[in-house]
Amino acid sequence: MNILLTGGMGFIGSHTAIVLLEAGHNVVLYDNLSNSDASVLDRLETITGRRPSFIEGDIRDGIAMQKALANIDVVIHFAGLKAVGESVHKPIEYYDNNVNGTLVLLDAMMKTGVRRLIFSSSSTVYGTPATLPLTEDCPTGEATNPYGRSKLHIEQILADVCRAEPSFSAICLRYFNPIGAHPSGLIGEDPNGIPNNLLPYVARVAHGTLPYLKVFGNDYPTPDGTGVRDFIHVMDLADGHAKAVPYVMNNTGWIAINLGCGRGYSVLEVIHAFEKSSGQKIPYQLVERREGDIAANWCDPSKAQRLLGWSATRTIDDMCHDAWNFESRKE
Ligand code: NAD
Ligand code: WQD
């Protein structure tokens, strides 16, 4: 299969590229490098023995998109901006990149006859869960920030496109909290500046690059009072995309599928797991809740098991071990 990965040089896209290359697919990475680095290509070649094609370009460039789509069977659409806090201050940039970028991509797909799309959606579309675990039938529409709303808009646009074009197939994969790294330690999550997300922050505290972690809230209605999330190893997530490829080829219409482990770990449990994996102490302070955070979320991943034959296999210890292996190799 010829598979185009928009945003394929980023965290989740690059790990997915490994699984697809190792499965024998032809992979084209299309990325404007706004949040990634060209050195990823060398690392992918070292890991897989194959060098994917790379096109430096923006998804909002319709002509470049049409060229890139020549001979493509499936698009996996990772490209977008993803920082929740930043999206509150830069809504136009977020809607332009994420929503307008997807519209330009869809228009280019229509013009080139490519009808198969796998989209990076997010558990954020569920907003504050009324019940747990979250199934795909749970209500959406309560996202609390422009980033989350951009994901909702895109999901709805894809549903409309599938209604209008019966030959179109779109899978919205709703990721829970992806963490970890490839076991080689050559690629992983390396945000610029001070990380917003828990795991990259913990990894830098373990490495000594940051002095201590702030734990946002210990008065949630959870077993230890700290937030609970469904963390999933990025290589499990990558496997989920590979399993979605035959599904999107053999089916038409719109579908949403959760990708998570189906169980939650608290912030304190993650700290302890990371300490065990790294052998490093993680100093932390309990501070106020972070605005916009929910107490807990985890998913019911049975639809992915039923329809894609996929379930997560890596443990929280694997996630912390691989994240530390990546972090500790850095200067
Ligand atoms: P990332 O920032 O590492 O990767 C995104 C890639 O897209 C980057 O390489 C960036 O350079 C590229 N990009 C951004 N805007 C572009 C544009 N206009 N044209 C071309 N390329 C562009 O992020 P990630 O963590 O790999 O996330 C991938 C996707 O998954 C995103 O859509 C994100 O919203 C979604 N997602 C991520 C998480 C998470 O926690 N990481 C959770 C749920 C959903
Ligand atoms: C996890 C837990 C924090 C940092 C975000 C997006 C979501 C999705 C995944 C893209 C929470 C606590 C964190 C810190 C802490 N991304 N925490 N100290 O907020 O569940 O989800 O990333 O779609 O849309 O919102 O992930 O890693 O930021 O936080 O105590 O320094 O860790 O309060 O309980 P979150 P996170």
Ligand 2 atom at minimum distance from 270 CA: 32
Is the distance from CB of 3 to CB of 25 less than 8 angstroms? yes
Which residue has its alpha carbon closest to ligand 1 atom 21? 31
Distance 3 CA to ligand 1 centre (A): 17
Ligand nearest to the CA of 217: 2
Pairing state between β 53-56 and 116-122: unpaired
Annotated catalytic residue 94: no
Mean pLDDT calculated for residue range 80-88: 94
User: Which DSSP symbol is given to 188?
Assistant: -
How far does residue 23's CA lie from ligand 2's centre (Å)? Answer: 32
Question: Does 197 sit in the ligand 2 pocket, CB within 6 Å?
Answer: yes
Q: Residue with structure tokens 């482990």?
A: 261
How many A from CA of 21 to the centre of ligand 1?
Answer: 20
- Confidence grade of residue 142 (pLDDT, cut at 50, 70, 90): confident
Q: How far is CA 54 from CA 4, 59, 109, 227, in A?
A: 10, 14, 19, 39
Q: How confident is the model at residue 23 (pLDDT cuts 50, 70, 90)?
A: very high
Is residue 174 over pLDDT 90? yes
Provide the pLDDT confidence category of residue 81 given band limits of 50, 70 and 90.
very high
Contact (CB, 8 A) for 178 and 12 = yes
Residue 167 and residue 172: Cα distance in Å, rounded?
Answer: 17
Compute the mean pLDDT over every residue in the chain, rounded to the nearest whole number: 97
**Mean of the pLDDT values across residues 94-112?**
98
Q: How many CB atoms sit inside 10 A of residue 31's CB?
A: 26
126-130, 142-146, 248-252: the lowest-pLDDT one: 142-146
Amino acid at 328: S
- pLDDT beyond 80 at 25: yes
Q: Which of 317, 299, 293 is nearest to 128 (CA)?
A: 293
Average pLDDT in the 285-295 region?
95
- Pair 255, 117: CB distance under 8 Å: no
Mean pLDDT (whole number) for 159-165: 98
Residue 143 pLDDT greater than 90, yes or no: no
pTM, rounded to two decimals: 0.98
Confidence of residue 317 (pLDDT cuts 50, 70, 90): very high
The band of 152, judged by pLDDT with boundaries at 50, 70 and 90, is: very high
Active-site residue among 30, 147, 220, 247? 147
What's the token pair of residue 157?
């646009």
Q: What does the pLDDT read at residue 331?
A: 73
pLDDT band, residue 171 (cuts 50/70/90): very high
User: Which tokens go with 315?
Assistant: 């443990």
Ligand 2 pocket test, candidate residues 218, 222, 293, 320, most atoms within 8 A of CB: 293
Question: What average pLDDT does this structure show over 26-32?
Answer: 98
Spatial separation of the C-alpha atoms in residues 327 and 185, rounded to whole Å? 8
191 half-sphere exposure, CB direction, 13 A CA radius: 16
| Predicted confidence (pLDDT) at residue 141 exceeds the cutoff of 80 | no
pLDDT tens-digit readout, 205-256: 999 999 999 999 999 999 999 999 999 999 999 999 999 999 999 999 999 9
Provide the b/e sequence for 101-140 (b: ≥16 CB within 10 Å).
bbbbbbebbeebebbbbbbbbbbbbbbebeebbbebebeb
122 confidence band (pLDDT: 50, 70, 90): very high
User: 297 CB under 6 A from ligand 2?
Assistant: no
Helix, strand, or coil (residue 169):
strand
* Residues 143, 121 contacting (CB under 8 angstroms): no
